[in-house]
Structure 1
Amino acid sequence: MAAAKGKPGGARAKKPVAAPAAFRRYTNLAAAIHLLQTREITLLDPASWDDKNDAHFMQEYKAIRGFANVFAICFAETQETYHHWRVFSAGVDGVCVEFDKDRILSAFDGDPAIRKGPVSYRLLDTLRKRDEIGVEELPFLKRKPYEPECEYRVVYAEEEGDPKAAKSFPIELGWIRRITLSPWMHESLRLSVATTLRAIPGCTALKVARSTLVGNREWQALTNKARGASGPNN
């Protein structure tokens, strides 16, 4: 039998293994410290959301289904963008907590009150033409202009119970890949903040970096390529 083509001895080249999918949670430093200290992830009342269209859909979902409490948390399934930082984590205390997707979702396994899935982005004209919208669609519908957020949402809908402010679920610190500090945080503050986070029990090996999205030296140095190409014949 002829040897397989590729590497010597007939060995086939291995396909690169894709990195596990990630979730990014944009929040603030206080919430990140709370998460690390309590080892819990907290779902909050959507009534305080900035997008009032979104908040209204969640409120209507709660009312139509007659739920006692509805809480939610949102993750981004994409790389960092200026939009994510500016809208969800603006200011020097903004933070992005990056999770292993499968592991963080496992925190909600087995709870019948949990609904989860990616958000669907639709044009107003598209929904205007529909006779009905499914009630269970409501927590996962947003307007088309929000599509670059690539949002994944976890919703906790409790049928009975007293009004609550939030719902928390235990997590493991090993599910966190890294914490990225705000691109607007001054570089001189980064080390102190990172040291403080790593001083939390169980966080010694925590990866902490500062985003360079709005101030990247390597990107800025690319202008040298233009200077080199600006000779008399160019």
Structure 2
Amino acid sequence: MNDFPEILGVYSLQVEAEVGTGTTANARETITYWYARHLADNIFEIQPLNAHHVPSGIRSTLNEMDFLKQYTPEPSYYRLHTVPAMETLIRKIDMGQKAFSEGKLDEAEAQFIKALMIDDKNIEANYGLGEVYSERKEFDKLKKVLNTLLGLDEAFKQEHRQKFNHFGISLRKNGHYDESIRYYEKSLEIEKSDENVYFNLARVFFEKGQNDMCIQRLEDALKINPAFVEAQKFLKYCQKHA
């Protein structure tokens, strides 16, 4: 099995539901569409498609037997609807990231918003829009994006680590300390053994002038990785200037 999930495409799920009550009750089939990936030998992942035909929302896993029994492949639907919609979504995100890297914040904002109109839970687009608002110090807009990200556990997982790190640094460098703390503490709820998150949290507390909290977080980082040189140096500095 490849290290990366195998994209299987779109599958449909037919469910029979009873409509009405008493003598007027009758069975009706409903069809929903799902984006499917093969994660491991006997593990399949499904994610619902939204109104724009792109995968969005909570992912679920099931074994091979249940997947094959319940879900039906829909290659035409995937080719005609989902692939073009996902290509458009990716293009908007790429344009937003390019504009942001060039310092064109208004254009970046517009492209990320267009992407979120296709999938309001898209992690890359939310991170991108959050960085725009962080740079522009638009607190109310930033808070809304941050609240969205805090509700998406996927945003804190390994596959999005690069975006996670960039956004955290942006929050701290632009003085959004309380938001940084909420952000990193949410990450620690999901993954408690990442010494880098404790280290970054320590830097936030240091810049807030909360030296005791900074020292605590550095000690937490060193409990996980005693050989963490930057944390060792930072801790010595903080203890010296306590």
Point out which structure has higher relative CO (alpha carbons under 8 A, 6+ apart): 1
Answer whether TM exceeds 0.5 for this pair: no
Higher helix share: 2
TM-score class normalised by the smaller sequence: under 0.3
Q: TM-score, length-normalised on structure 1?
A: 0.24
